[in-house]
Structure 1
Amino acid sequence: MCKTINSHFINGAWVQESKPAALYLKNPATGLDNITLMLASHELAETAIQSAHDAIPTWQQYSSNERAEFINNIVIELKKRRTPLIDSIVNELGCPREFTTEVQVDDPIDAFEQHVQWTKDIQHEQVIDENLTIYKEAIGVCSIITPWNYPLHQLIAKVAPALAAGCTMVVKPSEFTPTSALLLTQAIEAANLPKGVFNLVIGSGRDVGPVLTTHPLVKCISFIGSTAVGKHIQSVAAGSVKRVLLELGGKSPYLICPTTQLESAINLGIEDVMANSGQTCVALTRMFIHESQFEQAKQLAKQSASSLSVGDPDTKDTFMGPVINQNQLDNISSAVERAKNEGAEIIYGGNRIDQTGYYYQPTVITNLPHDAQLAQQEIFGPVLVLFKYKTIDEAIQLCNDTPYGLSARVWSDDTEQSKKLARKIDAGQVYINGAFWHNAAPFGGYKESGNGRELGPSAIEEFFEIKSIIV
């Protein structure tokens, strides 16, 4: 059954858009109508910004410990909504239920909970000597704009540190996955956060984006999305010299040194790229293998990709569901067809799956020049490209031969060697062997992958102004 959503949250109350434009969303697994979304207007966004501005004196009078208690109460309310959060992401994103439960819901709730202690630990005043005291003050109203691929996690990665710092905010989640944002808002409402501290508008970037990125009362923009849009936001925000925090695209490298554990290394790389149907900004979509093990790696990659279960996200043991919509499916298909025309060898996959919904095969490609478009540009799909190298120096050069620098992984039988190689790769995070995501690790990118950091205590620092008082 298709449901209608016309709910926005401003100044502590739910409001409806009086003359909305409608967006029709389909269930990615079935292609059937799922949600009719009534989008917010730029006028509603302006009202939300004013609400956030008016709430600054109230919110900033609370101590760090008091803000930590509010955050803890939000966590309690989120846990009560765990099941509907899981259901919403499965239905709107097509993400398999097991992955959704562990990665899309439980992990972000854990990240929010860790902010309780990090908020308590904030020191707003630092006495350097009898002549100098340094203060940290909340920057003010923040526009928080997040994407659809990890809808709850990427909301929490920005909302939690902004609240901890004492900022107020207007949040615009992706209009393609709105329900998890509504559930988060319900949790915030139930936690009795002061009115106006958190405001939610669900609208298109075209309609509400210009307001959120140029309004004079907005002092900070925190955005996750494509590099092209991030560059635009940085440009328009420059007119009023706003702080701009950007987590943008990635084309992350996976460097595999000659190893006695090649099968484990390859399986990890395949699963990393194919999880969430490849719709992950940190996916290790470029795999580099030493020439002595390259042919073996090709066979292992084919074996691993072919073993993945693709289908209904509600079917037990499904590893990979659909991509989010027809447009995404078309973009992935076009990118792979272009690579085929450039002479790429398709080791496995390379085609749409002929069934109801937006499904694409797990795809592994080789024999592609490193400057080819598919090797350089993020396509947000289940597509991995294999490259061979002769020397470690050549491998490092290839790893860094990209405009992006979001994430990377190094696999070696020698952990100390891995650490040394990790230091040479231009990326905000580098994983060693089988290491996985850590919610206390600052997350963000080098180069065109953005600036600023999310998660960990350092993320809270992004939302402060620093004031020095010299006597």
Structure 2
Amino acid sequence: MGYEADLKLFINGSWRTGEGRDSFAVVNPVTGSEIAELPLATEADLDEALETAKRTYPEWRATEVDKRSAILHKTAKLLKERADEIARTMTQEQGKPIAESKGEVFGAASLFDWYAEEIKRDYGRVLVRPPGQLSRVMHEPVGPVATFTPWNFPIYLLAKKVAAALAAGCSVISKPPEETPGNTLAIARALDDAGLPKGVFQLVHGVPDVVSRHLIGSKVIRKVSFTGSIPVGKHLMKLAADNVTKITLELGGHAPVLIFDDCDLQKTLDMVVPQKFRNAGQVCVSPTRFYVQEGIYDAFITGFTERTRKVKVGDGLLEDTRMGPLANTRRPEAVEALVNDARDKGAKVMTGGSRGDSGGFFFQPTLLADVPLEADIMNNEPFGPVAVSRSFKDMDEAIEQANRLPYGLAAFAFTENGRRANLLGDAIEAGMVGINTFAISIADAPFGGVKESGFGSEGGKEGLETYQVVKAIHQA
């Protein structure tokens, strides 16, 4: 079965096709060949989307919570019913194994379900005042929202923003990635079929810099949410400053993994290797910098190497594939440059280390050992299927290395010592810390970073609050 997604824009409640618009070539990363053309929004399209968001916001804001909730629940139901079709499209566009794609669709649905209920629990508060006086603290929607999301988890990251914003009562204009348009269109179709009023949610594609400048530069947009690279995030912050527009940024990381000699090593290896190569390492919280205590370092390297060599790489549509290609032609080149630099500076390539000979955008699952700190890959996120490792002596050294970089999105640690686990949770500078677990992206938990990894949270009640403003009403 070939690629079947019908690629369109969704503006003012209607589907827009080519109609003379410029287009973007969508490519299957397994073969590197074009599979579809995506229409790109014109300035007139963006102006219409902004006017529509402004017009529909008051009505949606005034819609009672139970009705909003029902529409979000129906959206989740439709996504789950259509999961097989959506997952197939995602794998053809992005490359990840079909099981990962289907899991991502269900994860997106869970966000709509969770925010459908969380909005019912969005309580304000009444302050203590003398008799005859009343002071209330209220949560109100911030206004029309613009969201920008990347290609690595295209439907999940879009859902994380859209579900919360719609629950809060905001109208939304979303610009998902051009590389993976078919599966993100599924959210627009599900919302439309679920009965969301026309124009409350709109989806546009286009040249990223053009779209971001146009939307963020408009006084209609009162909130921007972006997931992506640190340089682009800093650029969008500057654009948002002109109108003092509220902004949430979930930017890059370079997640450290601290592995102590009291851990269950075999169990730990069974967890960390599949997690490292999930989505070919194209995960903002992917475990990447492995710091292993001296006494178990050699055994860790041996076990990691053996498991990595067994990772089946291939077309994500095949059931036995455990890792697909990288998402676009830029990624293998970037990863290869980092690996070559590390090798030149003394790192040992234990397995992998090259693109392979299968064509497409593949890169072999790779483990580098004894990587010097001056290697670029120890300081810049590879965003690919490469694990880098070093040994450490004691906890102080491990924490120093974990906190060494200007990033702080996620960090992980493996230890059976309860007191050490508590101390690590306090000492590590990251927005999320997983101790003996990688389950840190959950609908009811906040997801976000510190330092140059951004600010603000998505997920949990914090994810709803980011699309709200607080108003205090005092009555005497």
**Band the TM-score falls in, shorter-chain normalisation:** over 0.9
Match of 1:49 in 2: 50
Please list, as runs of the form range in 1=range in 2, the aligned pairs for 1:125-274 lying within 5 A after superposition: 126-129=126-129, 130-274=133-277
Q: Which of 411, 427, 430 is the aligned partner of 1:427?
A: 430
Within 2, Cα distance between the matches of 1:4 and 1:407?
A: 34
Match of 2:463 in 1: 459
SS in 2 for 1:53: helix
Taking every aligned residue pair, what percent have the same amino acid on both sides? 32
Please list, as runs of the form range in 1=range in 2, the aligned pairs for 1:315-394 lying within 5 A after superposition: 315-394=318-397
Within 2, Cα distance between the matches of 1:19 and 1:435?
A: 46
Q: Report the count of equivalent residues.
A: 470
Deviation at 1:227, TM superposition (A): 0.5
Matched, 1:26 2:27: yes
Matched, 1:444 2:445: no
Within 2, Cα distance between the matches of 1:432 and 1:392?
A: 14
Within 2, Cα distance between the matches of 1:235 and 1:227?
A: 13
SS in 1 for 2:26: strand
Within 1, Cα distance between the matches of 2:456 and 2:346?
A: 39
Within 2, Cα distance between the matches of 1:6 and 1:100?
A: 19
Within 2, Cα distance between the matches of 1:86 and 1:306?
A: 27
Report if the CA contact (8 A) 2:138-2:471 is conserved: yes
Matched, 1:111 2:111: yes
Deviation at 1:127, TM superposition (A): 4.8
Matched, 1:277 2:280: yes
Calculate the aligned-residue CA RMSD, in Å. Answer: 1.6
Matched letter for residue 234 of structure 1: M
SS in 2 for 1:408: strand
Structure 2: runs of 5 or more not aligned: none
Distance verdict in 2 for CA 1:241–1:17, change over 3 Å: farther
Report if the CA contact (8 A) 1:3-1:36 is conserved: no
Structure 1: runs of 5 or more not aligned: none
Distance verdict in 2 for CA 1:203–1:7, change over 3 Å: same
Q: Which of 293, 299, 304 is the aligned partner of 1:301?
A: 304
- Deviating above 6 A after TM superposition, structure 1's stretches of 4 or more consecutive aligned residues are none
Deviation at 1:90, TM superposition (A): 0.9
Match of 1:121 in 2: 121
Within 2, Cα distance between the matches of 1:36 and 1:165?
A: 34
Q: Deviations over 1:194-216 (max 9, x none)?
A: 12210110122033121122211
Report if the CA contact (8 A) 2:26-2:178 is conserved: no
Deviation at 1:46, TM superposition (A): 2.0
Distance verdict in 2 for CA 1:435–1:210, change over 3 Å: closer
Deviation at 1:131, TM superposition (A): 3.7
Distance verdict in 2 for CA 1:305–1:253, change over 3 Å: same
Within 2, Cα distance between the matches of 1:123 and 1:66?
A: 17
Report if the CA contact (8 A) 2:263-2:414 is conserved: no
Deviation at 1:79, TM superposition (A): 2.0
SS in 2 for 1:443: coil
Report if the CA contact (8 A) 1:49-1:169 is conserved: no
Within 2, Cα distance between the matches of 1:306 and 1:387?
A: 20
Within 2, Cα distance between the matches of 1:128 and 1:328?
A: 57
Distance verdict in 2 for CA 1:4–1:68, change over 3 Å: closer
Identify the range of structure 1 (306-315 vs 88-97) with the bigger mean alpha-carbon deviation: 306-315
Matched, 1:86 2:87: yes
Report if the CA contact (8 A) 2:7-2:185 is conserved: no
SS in 2 for 1:29: coil
SS in 1 for 2:434: strand
Distance verdict in 2 for CA 1:423–1:148, change over 3 Å: same
Report if the CA contact (8 A) 1:255-1:410 is conserved: yes
Deviation at 1:370, TM superposition (A): 2.3
SS in 2 for 1:55: helix
Within 1, Cα distance between the matches of 2:215 and 2:358?
A: 40
SS in 2 for 1:95: coil
Matched letter for residue 176 of structure 1: E
Within 2, Cα distance between the matches of 1:18 and 1:367?
A: 56
Deviation at 1:225, TM superposition (A): 0.5
Matched letter for residue 137 of structure 2: I
Q: Deviations over 1:41-68 (max 9, x none)?
A: 2331221111011111100111222211
Within 1, Cα distance between the matches of 2:16 and 2:263?
A: 60
Distance verdict in 2 for CA 1:460–1:236, change over 3 Å: same
Within 2, Cα distance between the matches of 1:459 and 1:2?
A: 34
Distance verdict in 2 for CA 1:396–1:428, change over 3 Å: same
SS in 1 for 2:305: helix
Matched letter for residue 108 of structure 1: A
